[in-house]
Amino acid sequence: MKSLSSFPRRIYVTEPTPLQPAPRLSRLLGGPQIYIKRDDLLPGAGGGNKTRKLEFSIGDALAQGADTLITSGAIQSNHCRLTLSWARVEGLECHLVLLEPVPGAFDPEAGGNNFLYQLLGADSLRIVSGRGQAAPAMEQLARECRARGRNPYLIPVGGSNAVGATGYAACALELIAQLRQQDLQVDHLVVPSGSAGTQAGLLAGLWGAGSSLPVTGVNVSRGREPQERSVYELALQTVSRLGVESPLPRESVDCNGDYVGPGYALPTPEMMEAVGLVARSEGILLDPVYTGKAMAGTIDLIRKGVFRKGQKVVFIHTGGSPALYVHMDAFRRRFPPPPASDSAGKKR
């Protein structure tokens, strides 16, 4: 495998993210020992996994002389938030194309990432309906930027191409080193699987390093077959970019589509249970779109005996907690606030 130093890269991740044991959660579930790889603690406004991808995407942009970033994501996109935040660090323009699931879903007054786009000062927001419209809208924005004398660089949805996925190949090497240092023999990795770049990058990095550690992606937007096709295709492209000669076996791609629920970013009771359980047992905030559903899948697989007592499972926490504040009403109904009283003990 090529040295990662051979690729253009910005160094935003200056130290490994913690590999944190979750003993109380493990005891509550009565299954394997759970460890949480805290990529929610990565640098960048609000943290999260996209920073790893953006090290390589923005590195490539700057190597090509870009002064403007254009990217796309959902209306509450962690990727758009982090692209915008690192654009501010680098002094670049940043334009966002946001995908509405249904007409009128975008609310400029909404909290979560929508508010952070405003606070971070996005240079423009363009709202489109449907993922198929993202690329044409980005190209149109690029033409407009070039007409103003700018040099734009386009980053795909989620930063999920071979350039961005290289960031999670780097994470795979980081994790392997941590496991060796801690003398941990891990049986399985679990990761949220959305735009495919995180899972594909992990698979490519593990394969390139000669590791056979299995990875299960828990899908957040679609069923098993289309997600596995996307992950495998991108993993092959990433393996090729890394200069790994032997192709990744198709059977190494496992994407579980049982926990998507009614659709992307739509809450499920199982997700809400998982978010509350992890918050109250380990003091760790998951998000309702990615890690909440992925942890719901992990919990269910433990309860079904797929992950068993005596095993060790690493859950990759990809961040995204700003989205919790978009669903506060639903969480408050599920987890009512404790009764408040004044200093004399009288209820307020």
Q: Each residue of 18-31: pLDDT tens digit?
A: 999 999 999 999 99
138 shares its domain with 246: no
Same domain, 25 and 68: no
Q: Give the CATH number of the domain where residue 128 resides.
A: 3.40.50.1100
Give the residue from 252, 164, 158 showing the smallest Cα distance to 201: 164
Q: How far is Cα 225 from Cα 257, in angstroms, rounded to an integer? A: 8
Tell me the per-residue pLDDT of 245-262, one tens digit each, with 9 for 90 and over.
Answer: 988 999 999 999 999 999
Residue 147 located in a structural domain = yes
Q: Domain check: are 284 and 300 in the same one?
A: yes
Query: Is 245 among the domain residues?
Result: yes
* pLDDT tens track for 182-204: 999 999 999 999 999 999 999 99
- Are 109 and 198 found together in one domain? no
Report if residue 345 sits inside a domain: no
The reported pLDDT for the residue numbered 215 is 98
250 and 152 in a common domain: no
CA-based nearest residue to 317, from 274, 260, 265:
274
Same domain, 58 and 153: yes
Q: Is residue 342 part of a domain?
A: no
Nearest to 15 by CA among 174, 249, 146, 248: 174
Give yes or no: residues 287 and 202 share one domain: yes
Q: Where among 159, 186, 216 does a domain terminate? A: 159
* % of residues, the chain, pLDDT over 70: 100
Annotation says 77 is catalytic: yes
How do residues 281-311 score in pLDDT, each as one tens digit?
999 999 999 999 999 999 999 999 999 999 9
Residues 19 and 79 in one domain: no
- Let me know if residue 94 belongs to a domain: yes
Count the domains in the chain: 2
**Residue 93 and residue 146 in one domain:** yes
Using CA atoms, how far residue 133 sits from 100, 130, 203, 208, in Å, is: 10, 6, 29, 35
> What mean pLDDT is predicted for residues 91-103?
93
- In this prediction, residue 339 carries a pLDDT of 85
Give dist(CA 331, CA 268) in Å, integer: 11
Q: Do 25 and 67 sit in the same domain of this protein?
A: no
20 within a domain of the structure (yes/no): yes
**Domain co-membership, 186 together with 323:** yes
The pLDDT score that the predictor gives to residue 105 is 85
Q: Per the residue annotation, which of 77, 160, 221, 230 is the catalytic one?
A: 77
Q: Are residues 136 and 169 in the same domain?
A: no
**Domain around 257:** 4-48+161-334
The predicted structure's pLDDT at residue 338: 86
Last residue of a domain, one of 139, 159, 179: 159
Q: Which helix (H) or strand (E) holds 189?
A: strand 188-193
% of the chain at pLDDT higher than 90 = 90
The answer to whether residue 321 sits within a structural domain is yes
Q: Is residue 188 part of a domain?
A: yes
**Domain end residue (candidates: 159, 182, 215):** 159
pLDDT band at 239 (very low <50, low <70, confident <90, very high): very high
342 pLDDT more than 90: no
The pLDDT value given to residue 82: 98
The two tokens of residue 256 are 């579980």
